[in-house]
Structure 1
Amino acid sequence: MNASWAFPFIFVAGMLQAVGAVMNGALNRSMVNPWLATSISFLLVLFLAIGLFACMPRPLPTVGDVARMPWWAPLGGVTGAVAVFAGLLLIRKLGAGPVNGATITANIIASLLIDHFGLLHMAPHALNPYRIAGAGLMIAGVTLIARF
């Protein structure tokens, strides 16, 4: 992928994440049981992923690739499921703005810590006053959105 498309693609993905949270809230309301709603949501993702893999099965990892994989690498989907489940339960009560804003702000804060400490094999990127100010502005913005 050409690097010039990276930020527009991420921007569209972020917009879709906000829409998806509202869709999941409607799914939860219709299904009544949040665990059933979560299961339906993730089964659709699973079927899509299997379909895409069937169309594009290459490349495949080598045994060495799998052996070098960190033990925690496959857990990314589970961590994402927590965010989906939280939004599914809370979007109707709090609104799309506060739920998505808090999710993104928490993501920013965690990402800054991951970068700063080089966690999960990421290259370190030190905190500085500008990055801290950006996180503070995110917190202030979400507070305003949630309050008003």
Structure 2
Amino acid sequence: MSAVWLYPLILVAGILQAMGNSMNARLRVAVVNPWLAATLSFTLIVFCFVTLFAVLPTPLPTAEGLARMPWWAPLGGLAGAVAVFGGLVLVDKVGAGPFNGLLITANILTSLGIDHFGWLGMQVHALGPGRLLGAVLMVGGIALIARG
């Protein structure tokens, strides 16, 4: 199966992420305390995943799989939480366009490094002229959006 069929799902995830930043900003305004707002936001996430785990408990990890896991692997959620918290406290100050543009541009540039060097156990995808041009266009695009 071609990965291109996954692109619509990825696009929906990107749309929801952009909406989620603005939703979280409104949550923070309503509850005033950003730490409480983040806790409320993540409590719903935990509830959803615990429910899915209860309904679909398999597969479960093996002891060997856990032993081979890099020490930093469980920190992915915490890394994502930084972006969520950033949206929660900053998106209404700079605007959804600049915030998400900067977030996505930083994501793309970092991802190109991860791909090129095979960091974090990822398969190597060399940084060629097309990828480099795309990165330059992303930086130029966010510069225009942020200035607007």
TM-score, structure 2 normalization: 0.96
**Other-structure match for 2:140:** 140
CA distance in 1, matches of 2:139, 2:34: 28
The aligned residue for residue 50 of structure 1 is 50
Correspondence for 1:114: 114
Query: Hey, what's the Cα distance between the residues in 1 that align with 2:31 and 2:76?
Result: 26
1:70 is paired with a residue of what secondary structure?
coil
Correspondence for 1:24: 24
Instruction: Deviation per CA, 1:26-78: give whole Å up to 9, x if none.
Output: 01111111111111111110000000111100111111111111111000000
CA distance in structure 2 between the partners assigned to 1:80 and 1:46 by the alignment: 14
What's the CA shift for 1:3? 3.8
SS at match of 1:60: coil
Task: Provide the rounded CA distance (Å) in 1 between the counterparts of 2:4 and 2:103.
Answer: 26
Structure 1: how far apart are the matches of 2:2 and 2:144?
37
Amino acid corresponding to residue 7 of structure 1 in structure 2: Y
Q: CA deviation at 1:4?
A: 4.6
Judge which range, 6-15 or 29-38, deviates more: 29-38
Indicate yes or no: 2:96 matched with 1:92. no
The Cα offsets for residues 102-146 of structure 1, whole Å up to 9 and x where unpaired, read as: 111000000000111110111111112221110111111111111
Shift in alpha-carbon separation, 1:3–1:117, aligned structure 2, 3 A: closer
Which digits, 9 at most, give the CA deviation of each residue in 1:2-36, with x for residues without a partner? 74530000000000000000000101111111111
Q: So what's the TM-score if we normalise by structure 1?
A: 0.96
Q: In angstroms, what is the RMSD of aligned CA positions?
A: 1.3
5+ residue gaps, structure 2: none
**Which residue in 1 is equivalent to 2:129?**
129
Q: Comparing 2-11 with 98-107, which one deviates more in the overlay?
A: 2-11
